Homo-oligomer: A and B are copies of this chain.
């Protein structure tokens, strides 16, 4: 096992890396100065949301997404594909692109591979994703096969548009194929033929059982390994620490997920001794910090009793302090994970982490 390294115009960082999600031009509740303090290396922005509001042309006029949101580190933007396809009854898929209605006001829009790249270019992201179709879990094999072929044709159109616009930043392809290893392999090879700066695995964490995800992931990563790809592999929308540990073992280098931030807002907090729900009555007079040994602002300054009070009172500071801790937990987890790879000690780290984490003795 070995670390990776990714260079962008807004900074370089070691891999594996976890990217907090900043959907609408902000990682929810976090001033960007705090993201720096938490050792966040790169964040993710959502093309679909920013296209609808405030609009990519406005963001471009304001100097791009980095300047707009005052985050001078790297940004990866998704393609809008996943969001558009999850609109279900609100969209229609064609060879040319996808017609959909905005979840905000019902207005009609038409997203194509070219427009997705144009939007991402206006946002000025460091890593851009191709526009892909992300079929629902459980789609039949015949549909998945046709879908990945469409995704490959769109990937080629994205590459052409990205090149035409000046090859700004990096462009990643997205491997689809559902839970079928042979389809995953086919998708991978079609993308390799086009050639990308990185390869993402789409269509995971969309409702499939964990064992299916693990099996397909494993089979797909074996195909990737056998082709000696040096570009980083990115598992989109994943995930929990245990999923990251599994995927890293098989070679995945990049992750993103809303769980640290979303769970924080619901009072769900991560520690190396397992997850805790701050609303539980047992914390009512608990003077301890959330997690012993954590170096975040929340743990250094506040008790579980206070954090429970803020949560139960619906106070805004609750979102802030919980998010600070959860993001710092994910960053510390990734720091430890990278160190274990450096020290050639990953298997022990993996086992020790799970052993402590699953005790749930918070």
Interface set of A (CB-CB < 8 Å, partner B): 24-26, 28-33, 53-54, 58, 61-63, 68-70, 284-285, 287, 297, 301-303, 305-306, 308-310, 312-313, 315-317, 319-321
Contacts and interface: CB of A to CB of B under 8 A. Distances in A.
Contact of A29 (B61, B63, B70, B316): B316
A287 B31 contact: no
Contacts of A303: 62, 68
Tell me how many chains of this kind the complex includes.
Answer: 2
A207 to B, nearest CB: 27
Contact of A315 (B26, B284, B313, B320): B26
Q: Which of A63, A303, A315 has the most CB of B within 10 A?
A: A315
Contacts of A24: 309, 313, 315
A305 B54 contact: yes
Contacts of A315: 24, 26, 28
A138 to B, nearest CB: 33
B284 A54 contact: yes
Nearest to A315: B26
Contacts of A321: 31
Nearest to A312: B53
A30 B62 contact: no
Contacts of A53: 309, 312-313
Given A284-B54, A321-B31, A302 B70 contact: yes
A54 B284 CA distance: 8
A59 to B, nearest CB: 9
10 contacts: A25-B306, A26-B315, A28-B317, A29-B320, A31-B321, A54-B309, A58-B305, A62-B285, A68-B305, A316-B319
Q: Which of A58, A69, A317, A320 has the most CB of B within 10 A?
A: A317
